[in-house]
Chains A and B, each alone.
Chain A
Amino acid sequence: MADGEFLSIVGPSGCGKSTLLKILAGLMPASEGAALLNASPIEGPRKDIGVVFQSPVLFPWRSVLGNVLLPADVQHLGRARMTARALDLLALVGLTGFEHRYPWELSGGMQQRVALVRALIHDPALLLMDEPFGALDALTREAMNVELQRIWLDRRKTVVFITHSTTEAVFLADRVAVMTARPGKIGDLFAIDLPRPRPLDVMTTEKFGGYVRRVRAALNAGGGIE
């Protein structure tokens, strides 16, 4: 993967998407082969990786700011400097004024944005996202996609984005990888050549539809959708 690239991975349930992400996050060892980040192998949890899970995974006893600063606390990064950064990032996702609220006071979409800020706070080289918007309703999900693109254009992280949704994958990614089940491996790779920033309207264009059809066809060929 290139530095600053946005890679989406789509695949049927049980094809090993989440396993791949766990390997990349250093949460489990690869059975064979190795994952490399900046030429060094991922052999365990690393401090230069940020992860966004399917659910927000916020700590209810920490305020929004406290949750966002969790990586800073774990890695002893200095609260003062990190707080300034946290407030910047919270502003970027439109959560200014919510710093001292608690997770139960936020909607699902807001909670997931907090989780996104938390994953970015320690300025990781790689951002891993495991179906981060899967639990949100369709409208919120689209809004979050637009927002994620805006943040990505602003910060230019290398992102691995795992999803079930072919439209979401095409909308966000520079390249879409299709995974196949048993054995779980990356099959086809599609480069998405659409100008950025992409508005939601892009989904109605012929070119976008073409990409989605080809990704879906690759999924079907891999036995993904009956």
Chain B
Amino acid sequence: MIGGPRNFMLRLLLIAATLAVWEELVQFFDVPAFILPTPSNIFIALYRGISSGLYVDHLWITLTETLLGFVFGTALAFALGIGVALSRPVEYFLYPFIVMFQAMPKVALAPLIIIWFGLGLTSKVVSAALVAFFPLMVNTIVGLRSAEEDKINLMRSLAASRGQIFWMLQLPNALPYIFAGLEIAMIFALIGAIVAEFVGAQSGLGMLIESMNFTMDVAGQFSVLLLLSVLGLGLNGLVLVVRRRVLFWDPSQKFAAADAARQKGEAL
């Protein structure tokens, strides 16, 4: 087994060594700061950004966009996913639209979304929602259809109604897939918000990266990237905490479902 306090220390040491080598190499070869800054410069930029309150304001904006986009996108995806999974006519008529949209890289719509919804919050929420939509819809459909035939037969043999089969069997059975979808949707929502900020925005971490790019503040960009990683980790952790509570009964399956979903979700 890998792990334990000794290996953990080794891991920290490896990170420290990497940073030290990076620092030394940049100084030794005299690499200009606008190409590759030293780790110490990045941390200084991060410290200044946070202590001045600048990063916090922009972080708050991006977080709001991401969460709103996540909520709207996944709510719609869940509702449509249920419709498609349970109703053949809904599936038949929606299928061409689904296939077309799924094949399209959603981030390519960002410029259009800015034109339609302006430079403010709305366009970022729409972009985040759009990108977050598909992973959850696909997983909802797959999950609701994954109930084993024996389980359906058991419910039917008890004279269960269609509604009972849905609430007591299909929905709980789909939860591992749904949570795998939510996990991806959360990260995708962040991507959707950042991309929309790149294209046109007045605030947000994506806008901050863009404006730092113009002033060649590469250390600043690295520090915002670091902040975005932490934000992504936090958002992912949020979903994981809820999942652990809801899916306490599913110790193994969820990882398999998450892997399967991740592969499907790669079409961004």
Binding site for B on A (CB under 8 A): 22, 25-27, 44-47, 49, 51, 53-55, 57, 59-61, 70-71, 73-75, 102, 104, 122
Contact = CB atoms under 8 A, between A and B. Distances in A.
Given A27-B153, A53-B150, A73-B168, A60 B158 contact: no
Contacts of B158: 45, 47, 70-71, 74-75, 122
Contact of A61 (B155, B156, B160, B250): B250
A61 B179 CA distance: 15
B156 A45 contact: yes
Interface in B136-178: 148, 150-151, 153-160, 164, 168-169, 172-173, 175
A47 B172 contact: no
A45 to B, nearest CB: 4
B143 to A, nearest CB: 13
Contacts of A25: 153, 157
A74 B169 CA distance: 11
A22 B251 CA distance: 33
B157 to A, nearest CB: 5
Contacts, number: 59
A70 B154 CA distance: 10
Given A70-B168, A74-B168, A59 B151 contact: yes
8 contacts: A25-B157, A27-B153, A27-B157, A57-B154, A60-B249, A70-B158, A74-B164, A122-B158
A59 B174 CA distance: 12
Nearest to A104: B251
Contact of A46 (B150, B159, B249): B159
B154 A53 contact: yes
Contact of A51 (B148, B157, B164): B157
Nearest to B150: A57
B153 A53 contact: yes
Contacts of A57: 148, 150-151, 154
Interface residues of B, number: 20
Most B-side CB within 10 Å, residue of A25, A47, A61: A61
Contact of B160 (A22, A55, A60, A74): A74
Given A73-B168, A74-B168, A102-B249, A45 B150 contact: no
A104 B252 CA distance: 10
Contacts of A49: 157
Contacts of A60: 249-250
Most buried by A among B148, B155, B157, B249: B157
A73 B169 CA distance: 12
Q: Indicate the member of B148, B154, B250 with the most A CB atoms within 10 Å.
A: B154
A61 B249 contact: yes
Nearest to B159: A45
Contacts of B156: 26-27, 45
A47 to B, nearest CB: 5
Contacts of A44: 159
Given A55-B150, A57-B151, A59-B151, A47 B249 contact: no
Contact of B172 (A45, A59, A73): A59
Contacts of B160: 45, 74
Nearest to B160: A74
Contacts of B151: 57, 59
A61 B158 CA distance: 19
Contacts of A61: 172, 175, 249-250
Given A59-B169, A70-B168, A26 B150 contact: no
Contacts of B173: 59
A215 to B, nearest CB: 28
Q: Give 3 nearest A-B pairs by CB, closest first.
A: A45-B159, A61-B249, A74-B158
Nearest to A53: B150
A49 to B, nearest CB: 7
A74 B155 contact: yes
B169 to A, nearest CB: 7
Contacts of B250: 60-61
